Structure 1
Amino acid sequence: MRPIEELRGKYTGCMLGAAIGDALGKQNEGLSRGDILKPGYITDYGKAQVGCPGYKLKRGQYTDDTEQMIVLAQSLIECNGFDVLDFSGRIAQWGADALADTVKKFLIGPSSSIAIFRLNSGVSWRDSGSDIPTCGSAMRVAPIGLFYNSLDEVESNAALSSIPTHNSKAAIAGAVAVAIGVRCALLDMSCYDLIKETCSRASKYDTGLAKKIEFSFDKRDSEPDEVFAELGTSYLVYETVPCAFYCFSRHFENPERAVIEAVNAGGDTDSIACITGALCGALCGISSFPERWINGLENKDMIERLAEVILKTAT
């Protein structure tokens, strides 16, 4: 059996890694890669430029990516597993509060906004999800990969967790891919085997997304400028999730480099880096991230406590 301290490092590494990537990437969200790289690579926390969705956020402050991940983690803990009714209620309440906030309302994507409105209008979680193939359910899903030991349970619960807000086949496949990737990273699978398992599971829901993740792995030795241009970096799940797997595949033994690559990809940088951070943290643990990133992160102690409780209650 793996030492508990090693597992604790992986669990906290996954959740803090996701939040770190989100907080770093929010500086560049919506900018092109060319515009980001003109002054040089972003390697530490800072303020977003005026016009970016997160320009009113402080250094080290994360976006809705991490906030939704926290909501999911809290639901898993309170219900001792994934309960779609509980999660739907929590995400609806979180969304209502966020949309009423003068800062946070600009961070919520189109799919989530539509679903939150529907849920709060009394629409069932079965029918509330948007069919826009965006990455909102993939960016938040890491706790499911931490909670369930069985890959079958990770897959089924990740898919179910997407439906209340993101009900397209591609979005569901994206959530499955990230959750399975996290669980495989916890199991110390080789990068090749992790990608193989991820693509096999995701292909049940959307073969196109699975093929793009496989492509991102095949291109891991190609230069980022080339690969990001080929994959695309928008908030569509067909682009965001494969880009994150490219950054992970290219630098899985060096999480700092992987996250920096994601932060500077262009487009939906907070979500690309959030997913990259979750995958790298689950594989390499919290000690693989720089202390300046850990200590400068908003609410790091709270997120770490959530990870530790999930570890204690994981099935």
Structure 2
Amino acid sequence: MNPVRNRILGCLYGQAIGDSMGMPSELWPRSRVQSHFEWISDFLAGPEENIAANEFERGQYTDDTSQCVALMDAIIECQGQVEPMVVAQHIMNWAQRINAFEKNILGPTSKNALLALQNGTPLEEIEANGVTNGSAMRVAPVGCLMPTQDQDKFIETVRNSCLPTHKSDIAIAGATAIAWAISRAIEGATWEQIKLEIIPLASDVQRRFESTFSPLIGKRILYALAIVYGQQDVHKGLADIYDNVGSGMDMIESIPAALALVELSSTEPTLCAKLAANLGGDTDTIGAMATAICGALHGQEAFDPKHISLINQANDIDFAPYAAALTDFRFS
């Protein structure tokens, strides 16, 4: 297989595997994850007690990857371009198809923005200045699509993918950090190189689109990576991330936490997904972002074929055609 296509496929399956493995513990505190599961080491159905996950079966992914797929469908419709209104329409179609507005599925910023669109508010009039992670959770396809040689074009494409639901400075900056890490991994950069690049990039993007009073996300990424640097005990590393960095839905916690998990797992994709599932907090989203990066670094073969088969069957999906299309667009 073409090495670029292989890394893109690894990224997409990493997204889905991290999401679905983190789904059962989604939005539970770490203590409850430990008391209920002890340690999540495989795919599980959402427990009845978890109102955020109890409708999901084993291997199913959540809104993170569903919106990622909607973004890819929009990219394909637009022949490799990211058009905000087309992205918005595909996300809206998905939300309506699964009755997302009546279920506990959408994050607060996404829900408000999509409801405004549904009620006829023009996209440019929707404030959507929230600081939650809905833009970054779905951004992996932009990292697959866009090379990094033209940084301004890269940032603008990421921004276009964010606009349907998230317009804030930190939402764009966090999504840029995840997409950049994925794209650089696809280009063959090492994790050591990528870490050095995303810290100043994230802060620069946040300053460029300043709209909130959030701390600089690049500084928080640096702090999170330092927390786990050289840590051999993954259980202690998870506790340090949870206690010191945070694992909530806000960008200022979830992006640094995801990147810290890439570091703590030494970029091993399946371990990364397991660590995210046991972290507590926004486990599915953090797992999706972190494992997408690991998958881009190592390619599809880093995953157990049984896991890939489970994802395909449980979600009625095949990421191979998406990977082929994104590869073609990347080089067009």
Q: In structure 1, what is the equivalent of residue 211 of structure 2?
A: none
Say yes or no: does 1:208 pair with 2:216.
Answer: yes
**Aligned pairs for 1:1-315 within 5 A:** 4-38=1-35, 39-49=37-47, 50-80=49-79, 81-99=81-99, 105-151=103-149, 152=151, 153-206=153-206, 208-220=216-228, 221-222=230-231, 223-297=237-311, 298-299=314-315, 301-315=317-331
Instruction: Give the drift of 1:307.
Output: 1.6
The answer to whether the 8 Å contact 2:95/2:101 transfers is no
User: Structure 2: how far apart are the matches of 1:116 and 1:98?
Assistant: 14
SS of equivalent residue, structure 2 residue 53: coil
Worse overlay, 162-171 or 238-247: 162-171
Worse overlay, 119-128 or 90-99: 90-99
Structure 1: runs of 5+ lacking an equivalent: none
Q: CA separation of 1:129/1:299 partners in 2, compared to 1, >3 Å: closer, same or farther?
A: farther
SS of equivalent residue, structure 1 residue 302: coil
The answer to whether the 8 Å contact 1:155/1:179 transfers is no
SS of equivalent residue, structure 2 residue 43: coil
Worse overlay, 127-136 or 26-35: 127-136
RMSD: 1.8
Worse overlay, 33-42 or 268-277: 33-42
Q: CA separation of 1:87/1:43 partners in 2, compared to 1, >3 Å: closer, same or farther?
A: same
> Letter of the aligned partner of 1:204 in structure 2?
D
Q: What does the per-residue CA deviation read over 1:87-140, in whole Å, with 9 as the maximum and x for residues that have no partner?
A: 1222233233333576xx211111110010111122222232522210000000
Structure 1 length as normaliser, TM-score? 0.92
Percent of aligned positions that are identical:
28
> Letter of the aligned partner of 2:162 in structure 1?
S
> Letter of the aligned partner of 2:146 in structure 1?
Y
Structure 2 length as normaliser, TM-score? 0.88
Q: What does the per-residue CA deviation read over 1:61-86, in whole Å, with 9 as the maximum and x for residues that have no partner?
A: 11110010001111111212111221
User: Structure 1: how far apart are the matches of 2:319 and 2:191?
Assistant: 26
Q: In structure 1, what is the equivalent of residue 209 of structure 2?
A: none
The answer to whether the 8 Å contact 2:15/2:292 transfers is yes
User: Structure 2: how far apart are the matches of 1:100 and 1:92?
Assistant: 9
> Letter of the aligned partner of 2:198 in structure 1?
T
> Letter of the aligned partner of 2:51 in structure 1?
C
Count of aligned pairs between the two proteins: 310
Q: CA separation of 1:129/1:95 partners in 2, compared to 1, >3 Å: closer, same or farther?
A: farther
User: Structure 2: how far apart are the matches of 1:65 and 1:281?
Assistant: 16
The answer to whether the 8 Å contact 2:247/2:279 transfers is yes
The answer to whether the 8 Å contact 1:127/1:164 transfers is no
Q: CA separation of 1:127/1:196 partners in 2, compared to 1, >3 Å: closer, same or farther?
A: farther
User: Structure 2: how far apart are the matches of 1:87 and 1:252?
Assistant: 34
User: Structure 1: how far apart are the matches of 2:13 and 2:216?
Assistant: 30
SS of equivalent residue, structure 2 residue 147: coil
The answer to whether the 8 Å contact 1:27/1:52 transfers is no
User: Structure 2: how far apart are the matches of 1:117 and 1:176?
Assistant: 25
> Letter of the aligned partner of 1:228 in structure 2?
Y
User: Structure 2: how far apart are the matches of 1:101 and 1:135?
Assistant: 18
